């Protein structure tokens, strides 16, 4: 009963904070990123945990299945934490984000790296995939934590652009939050109560679109078998900055999928001894 009461007390706080978020998603993301003062484990950005443990879940898969001769596109790059990590594994990485403020911060944080660059792009816009191909050619695509904040129509549009971007040789790796409970359980698990909402979580609530979950069921809808082949998928941990208590990043249940176009070439053993 006390748990239910705690959740009920959280409702008016969430409603109040969410009512401040801009209706236009582009405006929402721009306001969010231009208001960020610091990033990293102790920073303002909820999902920017800089977690080595989370990256280790992805490293072997992207190294084994991403053709190193192709560039990597990090869609929804934010301040570029994963773009910079990918640039330690591959010779050319492009981070793209709908927010000019995010791209400006990402460019600043990666100013000493020659192997990655950034550009402003709405990856859900018709023709975005062709624009990316014009810019870098066919590529591998990495996505962390984007699909779960998009509405189904936008999810499908982004998947279509990704299909154009990867062509026959590129691969897609995505990782998304897939929390099994309801939204109040999720917020409470991150440290929110009726009396206190952690600052990183508050900033997300009062600026950004309401998140959902993205698991195998959602992936089957957005990446239909007629267009995509699943190489691997399953559970992962998505790490966020510590909020319930200081220390290690908090883990949120997530889902990953490694995908190729339905007509893609079958060369799934691109392991490079230099990275093993």
Tens of pLDDT along 51-73?
999 999 999 999 999 999 999 99
Q: What is the pLDDT of residues 15-44, one digit of tens each?
A: 888 888 898 999 999 999 999 999 998 899
pLDDT at 276 over 60: no
Domain spans of the chain, in order of start: 2-264
What's the predicted TM-score (pTM) here?
Answer: 0.92
User: What DSSP assignment string belongs to the chain?
Assistant: -HHHHHHHHHHHHHHHHHTTS-SSHHHHHHHHHHT----STTSS-TT----HHHHHHHHHHHHHHS-TTS-EEEET-TTSHHHHHHHTTSS-EEEEES-HHHHHHHHHHTTT-SSEEEEE--TTSTTHHHHHHHHH-S-EEEEES-GGGS-HHHHHHHHHHHHHHHTTT--EEEEEE--SS-HHHHHHHTT--SS---HHHHHHHTTSPPP----HHHHHHHS-TTTEEEEEEEEEEEEE---SSSSSPEEEEEEEEEEEETT---------GGG-
CATH for 2-264 is 3.40.50.150
- Please check the confidence at residue 100 and state whether its pLDDT lies above 80: yes
Average pLDDT for 150-160: 97
């Amino acid at each position: 009963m006390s748990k239910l009461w705690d959740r009920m007390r959280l409702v008016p706080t969430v409603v109040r904070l969410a009512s401040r978020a801009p209706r236009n998603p582009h405006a929402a993301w721009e306001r969010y990123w231009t208001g960020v003062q610091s990033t990293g484990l102790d920073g303002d950005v909820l999902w920017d945990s800089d977690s080595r443990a989370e990256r280790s879940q992805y490293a072997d898969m992207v190294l084994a299945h991403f053709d190193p001769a192709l560039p990597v596109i990090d869609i929804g790059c934010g301040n570029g934490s994963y773009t910079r990590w990918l640039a330690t594994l591959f010779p050319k990485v492009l981070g793209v984000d709908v927010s000019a403020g995010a791209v400006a911060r990402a460019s600043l944080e990666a100013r000493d790296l020659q192997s990655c660059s950034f550009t402003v792009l709405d990856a859900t816009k018709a023709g975005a995939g062709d624009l990316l191909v014009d810019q870098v050619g066919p590529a591998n695509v990495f996505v962390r934590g984007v699909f779960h904040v998009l509405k189904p129509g936008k999810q499908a549009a982004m998947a279509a652009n990704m299909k154009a971007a990867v062509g026959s040789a590129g691969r897609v790796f995505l990782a998304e939050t897939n929390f099994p409970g309801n939204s109040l359980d999720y917020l409470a698990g991150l440290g929110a109560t009726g009396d206190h909402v952690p600052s990183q979580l508050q900033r997300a609530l009062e600026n950004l679109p309401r998140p959902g979950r993205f698991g195998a069921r959602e992936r089957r809808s957005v990446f239909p078998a007629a267009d995509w082949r699943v190489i691997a998928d399953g559970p992962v941990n998505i790490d966020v900055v510590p909020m319930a208590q200081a220390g290690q990043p908090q883990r949120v249940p997530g889902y990953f999928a490694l995908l190729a176009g339905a007509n893609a070439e079958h060369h799934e053993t691109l392991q490079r001894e230099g990275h093993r």
